[in-house]
Amino acid sequence: MTQAVLGIIGGSGLYDLPGLEKTEWRQVGTPWGEPSDAILFAELDGMPLRFLPRHGRGHRISPSGIDYRANIDAMKRAGVTDIVSVSAVGSLKEELAPGDFVLVDQFIDRTFAREKSFFGTGLVAHVSMADPVSPGLAARIAAAGAAEDISCRRGGTYLVMEGPQFSSRAESELYRTWGCDVIGMTNMPEAKLAREAEICYATIAMVTDYDCWHPDHGAVDVSQVIRVMGENTARVQRLVARLARDFPREHEPCPVGSDRALDHAIMTAPGARDPGLMAKLDAVAGRVLSR
């Protein structure tokens, strides 16, 4: 079986976990561009971990400016089998209050200014996104939360907006009528690309605000987001540390096939495939292209 390697994509604080060993920041080059930052290679109780600051250390890169293809390709080259995305979100439901953690299982992608696929002209592929989150990985996160007495709501829909501005009130109300639970700017196309790269993916959505729809709360601002994120840091550190300690050392097959998403996805006939694009896909799709 394949050795499990846990990848964490998120913000500051996550790569300062107590107990990390064999830590080393490494630049990982990709044919798609530069990742947001170097990747922190580390271990926790023998479990291999890879931390990637989504916006770069110091939060230098806006959501629209992130090279999501480079980030996911770099994680694949670093050996990652399972990605946990830790993301700040706004709440679109009364019962989801600032400070709550939500393990979403669906996304609505409203972004429009980002490269969303590794594939294209010369090598066409269509992966299923019916189940964008690996339920096995989400269950592991929920179990780690229970062990640490950290409540994590299972299930929910994350509306991914382009940003970098927050929603208008009309947009916020529209997304509520769609039944969305939380709103943020970063998990698409990240989840789509992880699926194409055959990496299991799950999100810990940390609620920081009520967006701008709630009549008893003011419009969201950066100071509010930063304050709640700071309050969440210790809890999410405990959650990730417990997840790593309890995580199986051998990669478990994904119940919805996230780790074999390319088995029947490639449409282009072998003789019509672009050699240059195939070379760029050596990490992402090497398993199927080498057959």
- Read off the pLDDT band of 219 (50, 70, 90): low
pTM: 0.95
For residues 177-189, average pLDDT: 97
Q: Is 201 annotated among the ligand-binding residues? A: no
Nearest to 197, CA basis, from 259, 271, 142:
259
- Residues involved in catalysis: 209, 211
Relative to beta strand 82-91, strand 101-103 is unpaired
| CA–CA gap between residue 84 and residue 204 (Å, rounded) | 7
Query: Of 9, 84, 46, 103, which is closest to residue 250 (Cα–Cα)?
Result: 46
pLDDT in tens, 90-129: 999 999 999 999 999 999 999 999 999 999 999 999 999 9
What's 147's domain CATH number? 3.40.50.1580
First to last CA, the chain: 19
Out of 76-80, 112-116, 216-220, 251-255, least confident range:
216-220
- Position 1 in a domain: no
**Structural domain range at position 232:** 6-289
Does residue 265 lie within any of the structural domains? yes
87 is in an annotated binding site: yes
Separation between Cα atoms, residue 150 and residue 147, nearest integer Å: 8
In a domain, 73, yes or no: yes
Annotated ligand binding at 186? The verdict is yes
CA 179 to mean position of chain CA atoms: 21
Q: Is 122 among the domain residues?
A: yes
> Could you tell me if residue 120 is inside a domain?
yes
Contact call for residues 81 and 137 (beta carbons, < 8 A): no
Domain count, the chain: 1
pLDDT tens per residue across span 117-160: 999 999 999 999 999 999 999 999 999 999 999 999 999 999 99
Q: 53-70, pLDDT tens digit by residue? A: 999 999 999 999 999 999
